[in-house]
Structure 1
Amino acid sequence: MSLATATRSEATKLLTTAGWWILALVLVVYVGTTAAGMGFLFAASASGNLGGGATAPEVPSDGLAPLLYSLGGSVGYVFPLLIGTLMVTSEFRHQTLTPTFLGTPRRGTALWAKVVVGALIGGLFGLLAVIAAVGPAAALLAGFGLDTELGAGDAWALMGRTLIAMALWALVGVGVGALVRNQVVAIVVVLAFTQFIEPLLRLAGSFVDGLDEATRFLPGAASDALIGASIFNVMGGQGSAPLEWWGGGLVLLVYAFVLLLVGHIASWTRDVT
């Protein structure tokens, strides 16, 4: 079976199940509500309309729009990561990998097909995340009389890089799924690392001398660097200057490549039971 045929087969398997659109819906709701809440807090604070003596982390008004628009990637990246992981581990869990390999005897081709579909679905998730973040954020900025920066090329470049980052996260997920065959274990590993381990390491990097140089190369930090802005930096999670956007993209690509390579060698070529 050719790569094109295998890719169509993988796309059909993914799109005929409910998992992808449920995750997409949760992504839109999660990113949209986060952008609305953060947008109101920061826009009201920057415009001097945050009453009751409340305060928000200080953000220059001219850098507020990119910060809010980046929320789709900085808080929503776990969703393409999960869908990429589920694309592979679901095959092991539901024992559909045997007919997959019977239809595509070359296992490398089967994995490449998942990579292609993963990148496409990751890009779609990225588009949904950008819309969910930019929509309420731009509306709130305009409502408080602040510049939405939608006429600036830098804002659109940030949105484009968000799509790239989300596609790369889906590839990382495919690599994780190929390496960790058990679906429950893979999901626990993904959530534990993205929601607890890395945020704690990045927070520690802002206080421990020298550690911040290493935490810049963590996958979440690399993704934020690729996008070009992150709420995490404002909240005190970045001690040193982030990588250049292209450096962040390269680091995230390396993570995906290494996980896919190790997963293929250590797990993908093993016997299927």
Structure 2
Amino acid sequence: MTALVDCTRAELLRLRRWPAVWITVGAWIALALTFGYVFDYVSYATGTESFATEATARDALLAGLLPQGVPDVLVQGMPMFGGALAMVLGALVAGNGFGWGTWKTAFTQGPGRLAAVGGSLTALTTFVVLIVAATLALFTTVATGIALAEGQTITWPTATALAQAAGGGFLVLSMWALLGYTIGIIARGPALAVGLGLVWALVVENLLRGVGSLLGAVEQLTLFLPGTAAGSLVGSITGATGTPGVLDVIGGDRAVLTVAAYVVGLTAVVLLVMRRRDLA
């Protein structure tokens, strides 16, 4: 246990000092803020022909920007670009250990394979928690500022809604990060892992879902894909599917179980592969 804690602290120090990690996290924050608040608020503030004739639509747009809408905004971007960036983060964390010789040093000179890999996975999970927490804090601040600027009454979301959104977002980002981590371990490098992960998340799954409307066997296969589970989990939280990546293909309970199964399964694969891996 002491070795695991030491490895986790060392890995957290490495991630904190690594510019690529902060660039990836910054990209997520920028994209989530832009698509979650900036575009919608600019549309509300400037108005369009549809808004000029449909006051209800304009009011609904503003309602989504206020504090009570934070849980939905928090998770709506996670199945698509949030998941893609989490995969990049996971692939970088795992894959660069081969090019830098980190894994070889840890495995041959100590503290051992289980502690080194466990510490790396724990540090990655910690970063995912911090990303979700930082995003939630930022969105709450922005939504409160919009409410004050527009003279709206501040109504806070319920603790249950916040917990569901934060927990769902953590599961989704953890699954994608572990998928990138697993590909990075198997590919022994970050470049191929990042490329394969992005192609899968942004292209392959969407193509399979499109083909699934024509072929029943493919449609059944898509029910078990990570993107389907992540999108359906977020869809069960927000209750809407208009955002890219947000789906209602499977029920919320099944989506949670599927995402959790991926998290557990991918962790087991990483531990098994690294336990037997020849780093020479």
TM class by shorter chain equals: 0.7 to 0.9
Name which of 161, 177, 191 aligns with 1:184: 191
Q: CA shift at 1:247, angstroms?
A: 3.2
- For the pair 1:99 / 2:100, whether they are aligned, the reply is no
Alpha-carbon spacing, 1:165–1:148, altered in 2? closer, same or farther (3 Å): farther
Partner in structure 2 of residue 2 of structure 1: 3
Name which of 177, 180, 183 aligns with 1:173: 180
1:13-162 pair list within 5 angstroms: 13-37=14-38, 39-40=40-41, 44=44, 50-53=47-50, 61=60, 64=64, 65=69, 66-74=71-79, 75-133=81-139, 135-136=141-142, 150-161=156-167, 162=169
Root mean square deviation of aligned Cα: 3.8
Q: CA shift at 1:113, angstroms?
A: 1.2
Q: TM-score, normalised by structure 1?
A: 0.77
Identity of aligned residues (%): 20
- Aligned-partner Cα distance in 1 for 2:23–2:101: 22
Partner in structure 2 of residue 242 of structure 1: 250
- Aligned-partner Cα distance in 2 for 1:214–1:138: 42
Q: Deviations over 1:109-153 (max 9, x none)?
A: 221111111110111122233345555466557877889763333
Alpha-carbon spacing, 1:140–1:19, altered in 2? closer, same or farther (3 Å): same
- Aligned-partner Cα distance in 2 for 1:183–1:196: 19
SS at match of 1:233: coil
- Aligned-partner Cα distance in 1 for 2:239–2:88: 21
Which amino acid in 1 is paired with 2:17? Answer: T
2:76–2:246 CA contact under 8 A, matched in 1: no
2:147–2:153 CA contact under 8 A, matched in 1: yes
What stretches of structure 2 of length at least 5 have no aligned partner?
Answer: none
Q: Name the one with the larger helix percent.
A: 2
- Aligned-partner Cα distance in 1 for 2:250–2:274: 34
Q: Deviations over 1:149-195 (max 9, x none)?
A: 63333431233222343234333333232222132110001111112
Stretch of structure 1 that moved more, 80-89 or 160-169: 160-169
Which amino acid in 2 is paired with 1:18? Answer: P
Which amino acid in 2 is paired with 1:261? Answer: A
How many residue pairs get aligned? The number is: 266
Q: CA shift at 1:272, angstroms?
A: 1.4
Stretch of structure 1 that moved more, 131-140 or 99-108: 131-140
SS at match of 1:70: helix
